[in-house]
Every structure is written in structure tokens, then in C-alpha cells.
Structure 1
Amino acid sequence: MSYFLPQLGNQFASDEREGSVDGLDPFDLALRSKHNFVSEPIHLPSTSKPSTSKPPVLGRAAPSTVATFDTGSVINCSRRLAAKIYDSKIKSILGTTPFEKLTSLRPKLQVIYAEFLKLELDYSLLQTQVENYIQNATNYISMRSNFASRMTSEAKEQRLADVDTKRGQLMEELEQLDLEAKKLKESLEGIDAQRAQKQHFHVYLLQLMYIIIQDASQRFPTRSLFKSSSRLRVDDQMLELCETAGTKTLRASDKKKSVGHKFDDVKQKSEHHPLETQK
């Protein structure tokens, strides 16, 4: 209705410029189809009446039932739909791509931006958001790498400090083992000297006893019983002395062996200890 009212006003203005006072001519009403929208019949003036009669009264126009096809609106809707599709596609690509590979997506994004240009759409805001997202991801990767490298260096320093502490402890233990080895060596040397001295003393006693028995047998040859009994007693004493000396010698030998084994253990530990320190 709003479409036909201006045309109706224009028609009235043209009629006034042509000098028509009584309204439209009946012949013109019959020929012009654009005035068929009048819902009520038009009362035409009679030819017998003078020309000063009033113009006919027009009725109210009926609402239009004709649907117009707005191509501009359809194009705009299509553009908005395409923009939403491309926007969803970009977000899907960014969401499924690891941070390390986001920079490699720029060629694909340029292709999508070209499609926006074809649709005559402003994609500057979307491009800014995408670039900010990629830049933030790059900064995050750099920060994470720096943090990991710093943690690695700190862990290495802590491990080195622990190794140095353990090395100091092992060196102290090595010094203690060296002192024990020296003490054991000195004790072994003392045991060897004592054993040699005792063996020499025992041999000297046996020789002295033998000399005494020989001297007694030469001095008292007539006392055979005493001689035999004393000789038996002397032989028994010599046997006992020999057994005692042998027992002591065996004990000294056993003690030396035990000390020797202990010294060997300490020596083996001292030999293996530097290897553990190096590790």
C-alpha cells in the first residue's frame, strides 16, 4: 500500500498540471489499468451537469498480496552464512592443530581470506584474532622450552652437588681404609717378628735341653734306671716342649692367616673404591 500511495499522489499532480478540474476522464479510467486497485466503484459525473460539479470520491486501497523478491537481502543472508561456515572451519583447524604447527597454517588461512574477499566481507577482525592466537601459542612454546631447559640445568646442578657430596664421603672412607690397612700391615709385621723370635727361643731351649741330657748321661753312667727314667722324663719334657712350641707356632700362623685375609679384604676394597668414586 505504501508503494501505491506515492504513485497516486503523482497522478493527481499531473492531472492538476493538465488543467483538469472535474477529475479523471472516464475514457482514461477505462484505459489505465494501474487504477484498478480501487475497491469501491467510482461514481462518474453526468454529462448533463455543469463542469463545476465536485470530483468523484475515491475509496481506500486494498492491501497488496503480491510478494516481492528482494535479491539484496538474499545475497546478504548468503554472505553471512558463508562467513559463519568459514569461521567455523578456521576455528576447527586451529583447535585440532598442535601449537608447534600453527605457523604452517598461514597458507591455508590466506586461501580462506581470499574467499572472504570474493564475498566482499570484512575479515580484518577475524584475521587479527587468528594472528593473536598463533602469536600467543608461539610465546607459550618458547616459555615452556625455556622453563624446561632451566629445570634441566637446575637438575644437573643438583645432581652434580649430590655426586660431589658422595665423592667426599667416599674419599673419607678411603682414607679410613688406608689407615686400617697400614695398621694391619704393621700388626702382621709384628706378628711375624714375634713368631720368629719364639721359634728361635724354642729351638734354643730344645738344644739346651739336649745338651743337658747328654751331659747328665755322661756324668752318671752307672744309674741306668735313673738314666732311663730321667731320659724318659727328659724325652717327655722335650716332646711336651716341642708340642707346646708347635701349638704356639700353629696359633701364630693361624693368626697371621686371619690378619692376612683381613688385610686382603681391605686392600680389595681400597682397589675397588676409586672406581666407585669415578662413577
Structure 2
Amino acid sequence: MTVGTPTPRSEPTHGVRPPDPRPAGAVPYADYVRLDTLLSLQRTRTDVPAEMSFLIASQVMELLFALLRHEWTIAGERLDADDVVGATDTLRRSVRELDVLVSAWDLLATLTPGEFGAFREELGEASGFQSHLYRHLEFLLGIKRAGVLRGYVGAPDVHAELERALRAPSLYDRALDLLARRGLRETESGRPDPSRPYEPTEDVERAWAGTYTDGTHDLVALGEVLTDISERWTRWRERHLAATLRALGNRPGTGGSAGASWLEQTVRVRVFPELWTMRTLVEPSKS
């Protein structure tokens, strides 16, 4: 141990607390969650009662998108470090957060076409499809489409962030790299171009099936939590489709989006596809 000048402590010793920087009379909880700021963000544009529910549901989803991005970024770093248990724990926590995200559609489940139409024009060109946090989650899940970046050219910082995410390995890419490092895949680790849409392969399907057949505990746990995420993501899209059909029918979506017709296509696409298709190949357990 090197002896030197002690590092100054951030708080004094002998049980003496530092001065409280909060204003006198501030409630600690309100200060911690920035409650005044949070409650100042619900600014509706009409007097239609249903608009407040629509606005808060949208804000709640954005907060959950940010939380999931945080969790999946940490999980990817842990997979890169071969910390499978740590990555799985983080992903398992994110499954509960995805459940909350899916349930957020309950706030809009009873929104009728008349109620939505009463404030829809005030949204202008705004559309949920423009959420850069949602796009970042898609990229983390391996749903890579370079064309969506065009919608963010007017926001250089956001565009740069999404371009980095597009070109980086997805969460699934990192899991498959782990299988390669374990010697469970025939091909070398890493896709040549992670910015391209993911295409399922028999090599990956066999690797997962072999892992489940052998009962490799940490990798099976990883596979199962990734399957949970895939399932919840499909549920979220299904609820999005249902809410859109209830509020809009087959009209075009806000901001000129395709609305229900586009959502119907996305519902049919599962992320982490081999974790679903490999299940017919898994041999029965001998234990």
C-alpha cells in the first residue's frame, strides 16, 4: 500500500453532516424525483379529457424506453466480458420492465375514434414512430434498417447516436459471439456488417439446440431470458396494433405513418428467431 496525502472525504467525519443544498422546506422525495419538473411536462393542447391520458401514456413509454436502453446496454457489455450470470440478471430485470411497458397500453385501451379525433389534429406531424429511443431499442434487438436514420437528419446529435447504434453489434449479436467463444458455433464470432438486418442461420439454430440439449445451465438461462424479451416485444407490438385499430381503424397514422397496416407486418416478425425455431431440435432431457 502506498502511503501519501489522504484523499479528501466528500463528507466530514465524527457524524457531522454536510450542509443540505436543497432549499429550506424541500421534501426529500419530491427533490429526488424532480417532481416539480416532472409535473410541469403535462401540457395538453386541447381541453379534451382523453388527451391527458394519451400524453402521460406516451411519456411513460419514453421513460421505459430509456430504462430498457440502459439495461440492454449494460447487459451487452457484460456479455462481451463473458459475465453471463451478470448479463442474465440484468436482462431478467428488463423483462419486468417490459411487462410494465406492455401494460402502459391499458391507459389507451378505451380511447375511441371520436375521443382521439378530438385532439389528433393538434399532434401535427408528431408520431410515436419518430421516437429515437424506440429506434435505439430496435437496433439493440437487431432490427436494423438504415433508412430510418433519414428521419433524424435535423437532429445531428440524435442522428449520430443512432448511427453508432446501427453499426454496433446488437444484443443478440453479442450473445451469438459468446456462443462462438464457447466453441458452440461453426462460424467465426461476429457478423461482417452488424448494420445489416439480421438473417437467421442453421448454424445458430444448431448452436442453441445443442446448448439446450446439453443443459449448459448459464447459456440456457440466457437463452430463456432472451426468449422472454422476444415474447414481450411481440406483445408490445400487438397491443400497439390493437390500440391503433381501436382509435384509428385503418386510417393512416399520425405524422403520415402507415398506421395499422405497418404494425400488422411488424407483429409477424420475432426478434432472436433461432431461439424459437431451435425448440423442435432439442433432444429430451435424460435426467
Q: Same fold (TM over 0.5)?
A: no
Q: Given the two structures, how large is their TM-score scaled by the length of structure 1?
A: 0.19
Q: Could you say which structure has the greater relative contact order, defined with CA pairs below 8 angstroms and 6 or more residues apart?
A: 2
More helix by share: 1
Q: Which has the larger radius of gyration?
A: 1
Q: Given the two structures, how large is their TM-score scaled by the length of structure 2?
A: 0.19
